[in-house]
Amino acid sequence: MQTSQLPAASSEIRHFRKSTSRIALRGANDGGRSIVASQRKQDDITVRRLKTIIGWSCVVFVCLTMLGPTHAQETVRIPEVTDSKSLEDFITAGPETWKSREGMSSAIQVMLLLTVLSLAPAVLLMTTSFVRIIVVLGLLRQALGVQQLPPSQVLTSIAMFMTLLLMTPVWTEVYNDAIQPYTATNSTLSIDEAWAAGVRPVRRFMSRQIDIAGNVDDVMMFYQYSNQGGPPPATYEDIPLQVLLPAFMLSELKVAFLIGFQIYLPFLILDVVIASVTISMGMMMLPPVMISLPFKLMLFVLVDGWRLVIGMLMESFAPYS
C-alpha cells in the first residue's frame, strides 16, 4: 500500500516544481519589464533635459547675435566717476543729464520703452468706461449662477465694443486737438503742448462722470493724501492727473456695484423662494441652484434682460459734450 502511494507523491512533487518554476519565470518577466520601463523613463527624462538645454542655448545665441550689432553701431559714453566729488556732481546734475546719451545706456532705454508700451493699454483702459462695464457684466454672470457662461472672452469683447462706442467722441477730440496738429508737416506744437491738449478731453470725461455720480468726496480724499499745499481746488482743471485717475476708478467701482446690486436682487429673491419651497417639501439634499437656474434663465429671457442691462449701462454714463 505504501508502494502504491509513491508514484502519486512523486507526481505531486513534479507538479509543485513546475508551478514553482512558472511563478519564478513570471516574476522574472515582471521584474524585467519594470526595469525596462524605468530605463525608458530615465531615457525620456534625459532627452527632455537635452532638448531644454539646446532650446535655451539657441535663445541665448539669438539674443547675443541681435545685441552684437547694436553695440557695434554706436558706443555709449558713460561719464567717468573717479572720486566722491565727481559722483556727487553726477547725482546732483539733474534728470537732464541722466536722460542724455552719456548718462543712460541703450539697454536701459529699450527696457523703459518696453515697460511703457506694456503698461500703456491698461492705463488707457482705466481712463475709459471699460471698468464699469466689465464689473457689471461679471456681477450679472454671478447672479445668474453660471460661472463659465458667457465666457470671459465674450464679456470682455462686449465691454470693449461698448467702450469704443462711448469713448469715440473723446478720442476723436484727442486726435483732432493733439495728434493731428503734432504730426503735421509744418507743426510748431511741442510735445508738452500736445500732451496738454490730448489730456484735456480725457480729464473732462472723467470729471463729468465723477460729478454726475456724486463722488466728489473721493477726489478731495485723494487730493488730501497727495499732500497738495494751498487751498482746495475750485475746479477740476486744478486737480492733478495723478489725483483724478484713482478718484475716477473708485467712482466707477461704486457705480458698478450699485448697478450690480439692482441686477442681483431679483435673482436673489428667486433663490430664496426656491430654497424655501425645496426645504418645505423635504428635499434638503437637493441643491436649490439646480432648480433655480432654469427659472432664472426663463425670467431673464422673458424680460429681455440683455437689452435692459446694456441699456442701463449706457444710460449710466453722462453724455460727453
Assign 57 a pLDDT band (cuts: 50, 70, 90): low
Digit-coded pLDDT (tens) for 83-96: 444 445 544 555 55
Q: Where are the domains of the chain?
A: 94-124, 155-316
Rg (CA), the chain: 36
Mean pLDDT on 129-157: 85
- How far, in Å, CA of 149 to CA of 268, rounded? 18
Percentage of the chain beyond pLDDT 90 is 0
What is the residue-averaged pLDDT of the chain? 72
More confident residue, 46 or 135: 135
Question: Under 8 Å CB-to-CB from 90, ≥6 apart: which residues?
Answer: 79, 81, 97, 103
Distances (CA, A) of 287 to 146, 148, 153, 276, 279: 14, 19, 29, 12, 10
Assign 245 a pLDDT band (cuts: 50, 70, 90): confident
Q: Which of 25-34, 79-88, 214-223, 269-278 has the lowest mean pLDDT?
A: 79-88
Question: In the prediction, which pLDDT does 50 show?
Answer: 65
Assign 156 a pLDDT band (cuts: 50, 70, 90): confident
Digit-coded pLDDT (tens) for 248-303: 888 888 988 988 888 888 888 887 888 787 777 777 777 777 777 888 888 888 88
More confident residue, 111 or 211: 211
Mean pLDDT on 46-62: 65
Single out the residue of 129, 189, 141, 185 nearest to residue 313, CA to CA.
129
- How far, in Å, CA of 169 to CA of 173, rounded? 6
Question: Above 60 in pLDDT, residue 119?
Answer: yes
Question: Under 8 Å CB-to-CB from 24, ≥6 apart: which residues?
Answer: none
Q: Which of 73-77, 142-146, 167-171, 213-217 has the lowest mean pLDDT?
A: 73-77
Mean pLDDT on 227-240: 72
